[in-house]
């Protein structure tokens, strides 16, 4: 697996791929351009936000968004009256996120450059809701991020993940379709070997003490150019977990 190269003896802050972070930093100035390579994130945002709110109402909650990038989800959750912290290890997207919140007058969101594992050591059991979307498939040791997310949630809290499944269909749709045919994403955005089967993610969650509660798939209709939530989790999917109270 892709994270076999990860050295357990390295500082936990090293659970990051410098090339991946550079890729997101390079594109950061276009993060809030809904016609750019970030269009998919803008389009799926209302769908995932609604699902999160259905399970874990956000108003007044302390929320952590892991791998927040330019803040599309973090800022939307702040607009739902949550107190949000967004973290990432790519510097430029964090700058873009801060500037956007400032311009929009959204004050209940803050952004920090800190590794998930490091924040878990600093602020364990502090968050009512932890979200970690479209990030695990870019990290050398995703199980370690899952573990850290579990530590960051308070007992009874919710932890949400989304990522890409690993099978021939997801290769065809998420890489060939999205990067080469429809050109929704730049080539090289995703690496197939890093995709994660729901069974793998569920095992990492359970090993971290989280109890998976619900799962949803995301679909895309290339004709209407619309994303939609569905039961089919064979390509892009979301998982909701809870830390027992
Ligand atoms: N979660 C956001 C952005 C997804 S893009 C959303 O769904 O809208 C993936 C993000 O993960 C990028 O911002 C990238 O910088 C971040 N990322 C990649 N590796 C990371 C790591 N090891 N630690 C923290 N963030 C990371």
pLDDT (tens digit, 9 = 90+) per residue, 72-100? 999 999 999 999 999 999 999 999 999 99
Q: Token digits for 239?
A: 């998982």
Is any atom of ligand 1 closer than 6 Å to the C-beta of 92? Answer: no
Rounded to 5°, the CA angle 82-155-66 comes to: 50
The Å distance, Cα 25 to ligand 1 centre, comes to 10
Is any atom of ligand 1 closer than 6 Å to the C-beta of 94? Answer: no
Indicate yes or no: pTM above 0.85.
yes
Split at pLDDT 50, 70, 90, the class of 13 is low
pLDDT over threshold 60, residue 9? no
- Element counts in the chain: helices (H) and strands (E): 8, 8
Other CB atoms within 10 Å distance of the CB of residue 173:
21
In this prediction, residue 220 carries a pLDDT of 94
The Å distance, Cα 174 to ligand 1 centre, comes to 17
User: Which residue has the least CA distance to atom 21 on ligand 1?
Assistant: 16
- Residue of 27, 136, 138, 139 to mutate, ligand 1, most atoms within 8 A of C-beta: 138
**Rounded CA gap, 83 and 192, in Å?**
35
Other CB atoms within 10 Å distance of the CB of residue 182:
13
pLDDT, greater one: 144 or 6: 144
Is any atom of ligand 1 closer than 6 Å to the C-beta of 136? Answer: no
Is residue 35 within 8 Å of 42, Cβ to Cβ?
Answer: no
**Three-state DSSP class for 102?**
helix
Q: Give the residue-averaged pLDDT of 207-222.
A: 97
Q: Can you list the alpha helix ranges (DSSP code H) found in 105-166? A: 116-122, 142-152
- Residue of 135, 152, 163 to mutate, ligand 1, most atoms within 8 A of C-beta: 135
Is any atom of ligand 1 closer than 6 Å to the C-beta of 141? Answer: no
Please state, rounded to an integer, the average pLDDT across all residues of the chain: 94
Split at pLDDT 50, 70, 90, the class of 63 is very high
Is residue 106 within 8 Å of 72, Cβ to Cβ?
Answer: no
Split at pLDDT 50, 70, 90, the class of 12 is very low
pLDDT tens figures, 154-166: 999 999 999 999 9
In this prediction, residue 179 carries a pLDDT of 92
Q: Token digits for 201?
A: 């993610």
Other CB atoms within 10 Å distance of the CB of residue 174:
23
Is any atom of ligand 1 closer than 6 Å to the C-beta of 205? Answer: no
Query: Which residues on adjacent β-strands are paired with residue 58?
Result: none
- Residue of 6, 19, 67 to mutate, ligand 1, most atoms within 8 A of C-beta: 67
The Å distance, Cα 114 to ligand 1 centre, comes to 12
In this prediction, residue 2 carries a pLDDT of 38
Other CB atoms within 10 Å distance of the CB of residue 126:
17
DSSP sequence for 21-82 = HHHHHHTGGGTT-TTSTTHHHHHHHHHHHHHHHHHS--TT-EEEEET-TT-HHHHHHHHTT-
The Å distance, Cα 226 to ligand 1 centre, comes to 23
């Amino acid at each position: 697996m892709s994270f076999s190269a990860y050295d357990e003896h390295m500082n936990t802050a090293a659970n990051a791929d410098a090339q991946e972070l550079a890729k997101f930093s390079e594109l950061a100035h276009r993060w809030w351009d809904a016609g750019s390579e970030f269009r998919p994130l803008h389009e799926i945002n209302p769908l995932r936000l609604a699902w999160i709110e259905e399970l874990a109402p956000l108003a007044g909650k302390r929320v952590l968004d892991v791998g927040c990038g330019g803040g599309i989800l973090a800022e939307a959750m702040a607009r739902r009256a949550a107190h949000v912290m967004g973290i990432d290890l790519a510097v430029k997207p964090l700058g873009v996120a801060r500037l956007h919140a400032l311009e929009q007058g959204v004050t209940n969101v803050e952004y920090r450059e800190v590794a998930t594992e490091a924040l878990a050591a600093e602020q364990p059991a502090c968050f009512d809701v932890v979200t970690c979307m479209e990030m695990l498939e870019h990290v050398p040791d995703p199980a370690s991020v899952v573990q850290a997310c579990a530590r960051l949630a308070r007992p009874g809290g919710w932890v949400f993940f989304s990522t890409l499944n690993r099978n021939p269909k997801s290769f065809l749709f998420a890489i060939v379709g999205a990067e080469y045919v429809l050109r929704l994403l730049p080539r090289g955005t995703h690496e197939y070997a890093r995709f994660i089967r729901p069974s793998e993610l569920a095992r990492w969650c359970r090993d971290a003490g989280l109890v998976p509660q619900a799962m949803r798939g995301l679909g895309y209709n290339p004709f209407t150019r619309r994303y939609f939530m569905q039961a089919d989790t064979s390509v892009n999917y979301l998982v909701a977990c809870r830390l027992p109270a």
